[in-house]
Amino acid sequence: MRCFWDDAQRAHAPASEFFNGALHPAADVVERVDSVLAAIGPVEAPPPRSESELLAAAGRAHSADYLDLLATAHGEWVAAGRSGDVLPYAFPVHRRPRTLSRIDARLGAHAYDTCAPIMGGTWSALLAGTGVLLAALDVAVAGSHAFALTRPPGHHAGPDYMGGYSYLNWAAIAALASGKRTAILDLDYHHGNGTQDIVTGREGIRFASLHADPATDYPFFWGSAEESGGNVLNLPLPRGTAFAAYDAALARAGEWLAEDGPELLVVSFGADTYEGDPISHFAIQTGDYARLGARAAALGVPTLIVLEGGYAVDALGDNVAAFLSGF
């Protein structure tokens, strides 16, 4: 399988995130990438693309004012006399239209949590990630499987909001840029709320997600079974879920996605379903991932795999490599 990566994605290197009442060291560390690169073998750099081409692709899934915030937030932060990572602290829960100018108001209007810090290198890393995504998408559209080593993750980013380590929604951008009937399969531990918000009601796209029950786990406000309908299927699973129950849910998701006759499969793969993941509570083992990859591959269509979560850094590479081997 052809794999794509751009070293410019390393420029996004958050120091901390705020949850459970305290600042914690960031879980989405750059070392995650080194673990994956060491395990999957040779990777290709994407061909160069103009910034306008990358922005046009991102703009298929995200609003112009949100992309402008991502591009300008760190500069405004510094201009306001701040140092360190950019984080919001106030949120307009009623989303009333306002003319927002202060950086803190703009951040709050485009975020739903305090887990997506922005630093000086975030925007350039996101543009580089978009290039990686489009290079891998080209391979999949041409009929082969491909892996985009996307980092930071993307599936929590919605049409005009960031959160959960996510800024640009790789899976949604790929689906909307592909020109193909697309099945999106989200196999991260956490519900792909941003993807769901972007693709709900979109003709020619189906979205199925296996994830921890939002009654117990982040992102809490999306992903219940009752939220299924139309082109969305949510299959929440209890904490402690191991291979057999997970594989059965995956088979069900695959059957539902196949009903729509997809020409392309986009997998949001998160290895935070791993039994040793430090922030999650499923019990998938490294050896299981090859079988799960084979189950996903049974859909029988060209597939683009993007990386979402997975925070057991030492095991992440082996878990990703095992999943890819299933294809």
Provide the β-strand partners of residue 217: none
Contacts of 164 (CB under 8 A, 6+ apart): 113, 115, 116, 153, 155, 156, 157, 190, 193, 194, 218, 219
Kindly name the residue from 74, 155, 156, 211 that is annotated as catalytic: 156
Looking at the Cβ atoms of 77 and 222, the one nearer to Zn ion is: 222
**Residues 170 and 150: beta-carbon distance below 8 Å:** yes
Contact 169, 62 (CB under 8 A): yes
135 vs 271, beta carbon nearer Zn ion = 271
If you search the block for the tokens 């531990």, which residue do you land on? 189
As measured in angstroms, the least distance from the Cβ of 116 to Zn ion is 13
Bridge partners of 183? 206, 265
Closer CB to Zn ion, 194 or 302, in the complex: 194
Q: Where are the alpha helices (DSSP H) in 41-83?
A: 51-58, 64-79
What is the smallest separation between the CB atom of 106 and Zn ion, expressed in angstroms? 26
Task: Reply yes or no on whether 156 is catalytic.
Answer: yes
Which residues would be at the binding site for Zn ion (CB under 5 A)?
A: 188-190, 270, 272, 309
Q: Which is nearer to Zn ion, 106 or 191 (CB)?
A: 191
Length of the chain: 327
Asked if residues 36 and 320 have their Cβ atoms less than 8 Å apart, the reply is yes
Residues 6+ apart with CB under 8 A from 111: 88, 91, 161, 162, 163
CB of 280 to Zn ion, least distance (A): 7
CB of 155 to Zn ion, least distance (A): 8
Residues acting as catalytic residues: 156
